[in-house]
Amino acid sequence: MPSEHVFTVGEINRSARDLLETHFGELWIKGEISELKRAPSGHLYFTLKDETGELSAVRFRSRSALFDDRSVEAGTLVLAFGRLTIYEPRGRYQFIASLIHPVSAGGLRVAFEQLKEKLQAEGLFSPDHKQPIPRFPRKIGVITSPTGAALRDIASVLERRWPLSDLLLFPSSVQGAAAPASLLAALDRAVRFSQDVNPIDLLLIGRGGGSAEDLAAFNDEALARAVFDCPIPIISAVGHEIDFSIVDFVADRRAPTPSAAAELAVPNRTELLTQLADRSSRMVRGIEATLRSRRQSLQSQLRGYLFGVPKRLLDTLGQQLDLHLASLLRGTATVWSARRRAAQHAVELLRLSDPNLPLRRGYSLTLVASSSQPVRDASELSVGDEIETRLDSGRLLSRVEEVNPE
């Protein structure tokens, strides 16, 4: 039996690349841009798709120095010129584009612009309808995926800036065909919770970045109208800074990222304490300056009457003045002493509210890995659950092997 040649993986990939490039050569392909990524090197990685399939593609920066890639965005229908090849190290079939010519906006982009124009004409984007964001919210609701990075980012920022706020999660799907209905249901649950159980001061709605298809759920008309009608102020945080959704235009405030939404939602306690101390000092200095000025004025007036008033009467008036000034100073000192104690008490409350204070004393904080709520009772856990233990320095990820509720 004659021996048969055994190919290596590299030989197969090389042969397949040669066959593909030789058979097709350079060609034009028409498709819609999706999953567009701009690498720091200047290369563009994207997918060309139509109703029947998808094709991975790349345009290297050096291919055309005159090409302006700012005209290329997700959802744009383009004509791309280049060649088909196989990336040998990974055996990946792809299209290398040397020229990309936009034909028209893709389906998602057209639908986005049409809905944007419609809702804008109806007044849903009007600044007159925007509700003010409360400065010190006590209850903050978050509508997002319970497993996404957005929730972790928001919880981390709130814990650092203003731990006095309570975070309430209304979980929802944020991607896919079922996401718009899921977001609507979560928003409805948040409103009913605020009305029937405990008032919510502020809502955050959003997710992390993604392609145009990933963010499409936040361009739903029914969701936009529900956000517009929501009685609770809403901050939207959909995608990255360059991403815009219909919900961004309808919400009371738009944040470029989920972390930025958390920063807009609450004040910075460190800055607030500094401002409080500065204003207290300036008020005390102002009152002391006013008292000195009035004392000097009164003494000047008394010297003017020195030769027209009998000495005994002058002494009596001087004693009365001293008594009035002493009383005034005591009263002022008492008021500001009380205010100073109140300010110091507020400072101490804020210091004691620091969630990291027990950690610095040697204690630890245990949370379910997918939640920001601390574990207070062993019965809340089950065998196999992943838990996160936070220490003063670092954190530990563990899995529950045994649960003893007693």
DSSP per residue over 94-131, as a string?
Answer: EEEEEEEEEEEE-HHHHHHHHHHHHHHHTTTT-GGGPP
pLDDT in tens, 81-123: 899 999 888 888 999 998 888 775 556 777 788 899 999 999 9
CB hemisphere CA count around 284 (13 angstroms): 14
Whether the pLDDT of residue 399 is over 80: the answer is: yes
Region 177-203: mean pLDDT is: 95
- For the chain, percent of residues with pLDDT exceeding 70: 92
343 in Cβ contact with 276 (< 8 Å):
yes
Torsion angle, CA of 380/382/387/389, rounded to 10 degrees? Answer: 60
| Mean pLDDT score of the chain | 85
Q: Which residue has the tokens 């964001």?
A: 133
Percent of the chain residues past pLDDT 90, beyond the cut: 37
Query: In 3-state terms, the chain is what percent helix, strand and coil (to 5)?
Result: 45, 20, 35
Output 186 or 374, whichever has higher pLDDT.
Answer: 186
Residue 54, CB-side half-sphere exposure with 13 Å CA sphere: 6
- Please tell me the predicted confidence (pLDDT) of residue 65: 46
CB neighbour class for 287 (10 Å; exposed up to 12, middle 13-18, buried from 19) = middle
Residues 3-15, mean pLDDT to the nearest whole number? 84
pLDDT per residue as tens digits for the range 158-187: 999 998 899 999 999 999 889 999 999 999
- Predicted pLDDT at 157: 94
- pLDDT of 50 above 60: yes
Per-residue pLDDT at 224 exceeds 70: yes
Mean pLDDT, range 206-211, rounded to an integer: 85
Q: Is the pLDDT of residue 314 over 80?
A: no
Assess whether pLDDT exceeds 70 at residue 338.
yes
